[in-house]
Amino acid sequence: MIATAEITGVVLAGGRGQRMGGEDKGWVELARRPLIEHVLARLRPQVGALVISANRHLSRYRGFGVPVVEDGTPGFPGPLAGAYAAMRVATTPWLLLAPVDTPWLPLDLCQRLAQVAAQADIVVVHDGERLQPLTALVRTSLEADLARWLESGAGRVLDFYQRHRWCQVDFADRRASFANLNTPQERERAERSLGVEAMSRERGER
């Protein structure tokens, strides 16, 4: 199994945030903390290094003391442009990709993906209902091919993955951990849910 020191965690924070009213989702708050802070906290104990890939508010992101890379491609070209930017600066053989709007990622995410990494170039989460292609381990040796793929204007993330050896890991037991916050309504529901949990814990302690 690959070691923690061989993995750079990459928070993909470069989207348009259209369904969030154009907000930079990394700075949308949940439980009084921005989503970027939640995701960094989840990834930090699982990887040897961290990178934030963004194309807005770069100086604010640097305030977390983590390297920030800009994909440098105009027009918000998609999440793999962010992965490519991270590949260019990473010094490890693997990236662990994670979207900025997934604040509940499992703390054993990297361990479970790494168990099968020797068999593949890309290891993707399956949450029991669907693939989560932006939560994945990816070899940095794919940098050159990813550059060609991006230059060609090719589309879906899975189309790129299918050019290489890839596999999936079943996280059906942790499906809720991959829920993402795409809209203000989803964020509000998450806040209400957290409030109910906090009240239940408080009552249990009395």
Could you read off the pLDDT of 137-165 as tens digits, one per residue? 999 999 999 999 998 887 789 999 999 99
What is the rounded distance in angstroms from the CA atom of residue 50 to the CA atom of residue 38?
A: 14
Q: What is the CATH number of the domain that holds 179?
A: 3.90.550.10
The count of structural domains within the chain is: 1
Alpha carbon distance 78, 122 (integer Å): 18
Taking only the tens place, the pLDDT of each residue in 25-59 is: 999 999 889 999 999 999 999 999 999 999 889 99
11 closest CA partner among 75, 82, 87, 114: 82
Residue pair 122/139 in contact (Cβ under 8 Å)? The answer is: yes
**Measured CA distances, 80 to 56, 158, 165 (Å):** 16, 10, 17
Q: Which two structure tokens, joined as six digits, stand for 183?
A: 């809209």
Total-model pTM: 0.89
Residue 86 has pLDDT above 80, yes or no: yes
Domain that holds residue 73: 4-205
